[in-house]
Amino acid sequence: MHEEQPQQRQQPPPQSPEEGTTYIAPVTEPSVNTALVPHMSAISPALTPSPVKILESIEPEIVYAGYDSSKPDTAEYLLSTLNRLAGKQMIQVVKWAKILPGFRNLPLEDQITLIQYSWMCLSSFALSWRSYKHTNSQFLYFAPDLIFDE
């Protein structure tokens, strides 16, 4: 007796691209979004700080100008006080940037470039915000000890 072997069905050969079929790799290659940004669902919620905690941790410190109101308000004294305050604020901008999430992961040259191109904008915005918050935009609130009313 002759037993029949079950016939194995063979797959047809793959069609070539000329016939209109495009082959897709089974594993997706990383894109800009997936390669640089971790997938948040893979991170435990207990390890992820809340947005409020992040904002509280990066809140800039209060910087004082060191203004002495007992000295006469000469142009030289006010300008030198503003200059010292700007130096202190620049140091605070660098410290603040270092605690921003992801900033330290950038190459050092990029960190420096970002600070160089943004310090004036950050300082202007901070002055505007302090003036609005503390004096309802009536005065220029450079620091708690240096408020211009004229």
Instruction: Give yes or no for residue 127 having a pLDDT over 80.
Output: yes
Query: 102-126 burial, b if ≥16 CB within 10 A, otherwise e?
Result: eeeeeeeeebeeebeeebeebbeeb
Instruction: Give yes or no for residue 135 having a pLDDT over 70.
Output: yes
Query: Quick one: pLDDT band at residue 77, thresholds 50, 70, 90?
Result: very high
Mean pLDDT, residues 56-70 taken together: 83
CA distances (Å), origin 71, targets 96, 140, 144: 32, 20, 17
Nearest residue to 88 via CA among 107, 67, 103: 67
> What domains appear along the chain, each with residue ranges and CATH number?
60-148 (1.10.565.10)
Residue 79: per-residue pLDDT: 93
* Average confidence score pLDDT of the chain: 77
The answer, as to whether pTM is greater than 0.75, is: no
Dist CA 41 CA 149 (whole Å): 51
